[in-house]
Amino acid sequence: MEITPLLEAFFQKYSYDFRHYSEAHIRRRIINRMNVSGLESIDQMQSRLLTDEVFASEFLQDLSITVTEMFRDPGFYRSFREKVIPILKTYPFLKIWHAGCATGEEAYSVAILLQEEGLYDRTTIYATDFNQHGLSQAEEGIFPSKMMKDYTANYQLSGGKESFSDYYTSNYDSVIMNKSLKRNIVWANHNLVTDSVFAEVHVIFCRNVLIYFDNILQNKVQRLFHDSLINGGILCLGSKEGIRFTELFDRYTELDKKQRIFKKRY
């Protein structure tokens, strides 16, 4: 199945560029959408994409990376508390960029951590994604109640200092995050593939997104991150991501090799 022409046509029509995403990821999502929609060939799918904007929107949701949870990988957050927070406390104000924030769980996790460390009042968190539907969900801050047991366990393992239930209000089968956590979060549409430097920031979180990109796109995004960080800024990646095989490796110091936390040297 040749997917390159379809991705090229989608880009030309809608300006969303998936041409350098992992082929395995894209192929799985295309096959799933074809099966769901009863399409028998890639040509049929391409024709439908170019003539049916509702179908194109569904396809865009298929390709969006929305796998996330609060305090995902608790060891990362423990390390961030121990090794990064002391650095951040030396700044009079902070700008933090959550790139590829999906539905916002990790942005709220960091807001909680910063509040507990006395840093939230002087911080602006920019949480960005190209998926407007996900951004809208994130801004609402409403999550299923059934997830709270797992999120609470993650929070406790991450070194949380309070009761996790203090940070949200239950409402039937959902919970809503406290307004105090939302006040310093700016939700914005930004596409890592096609957009430029977002802001000059002290910390970038982009965890478990780069694994969906091919090497060409990974290097492009890494340059974007490097150019967006102040000297001494912190880059936080996912457990299967890194900078070792990029052209920028010597421009960072590893603060925590296992947890993929890096400090920009220059």
pLDDT at residue 80 in the model = 98
pLDDT surpassing 80 at residue 144 = yes
Please say if the pLDDT value at position 79 is more than 90: yes
Q: Please give the single-letter amino acid code of residue 10.
A: F
Give the CA distances from residue 260 to residues 85, 113, 211, 212, 236, in Å, rounded to whole numbers and listed in that order. 16, 18, 13, 17, 6
How far apart, in whole angstroms, are the C-alpha atoms of residue 166 and residue 235? Answer: 29
> What are the structural domains, with CATH classification, of the chain?
4-63 (no CATH), 74-264 (3.40.50.150)
Question: CA-to-CA distance for 228 and 244, rounded, in angstroms?
Answer: 19
pLDDT given at position 197: 85
**Which pLDDT does position 247 carry in this prediction?**
86
**Please, what is the end-to-end C-alpha distance for the chain in angstroms?**
44
What pLDDT digit, counting tens, does each position of 168-224 carry?
999 889 999 999 999 999 999 999 999 988 789 999 999 999 999 999 999 999 999
Q: Which strands, in side-by-side order, build the sheet including 229-237?
A: 185-189, 123-129, 94-99, 201-206, 229-237, 261-264, 252-256
Kindly indicate the confidence band of residue 228, based on its pLDDT and cuts at 50, 70 and 90: very high
Whether pLDDT at 151 is above 90: yes
Q: How far apart are CA 184 and CA 182, in angstroms?
A: 6
247 Cα distance to chain centroid: 23
At 246 the pLDDT is 86
Say if CB 94 and CB 199 are below 8 A apart.
no
pTM of the model: 0.92
Rounded distance between C-alpha atoms, residue 47 and residue 66, angstroms: 26
Task: Using the predicted structure, report yes or no on whether residue 66 has a pLDDT greater than 90.
Answer: no
**Helix, strand, or coil (residue 189):** strand
pLDDT band at 57 (very low <50, low <70, confident <90, very high): very high
pLDDT for res 245: 81
Tokens of 99: 């790139």
- What pLDDT, in 10s, does the model give residues 11-27? 999 999 999 999 999 99
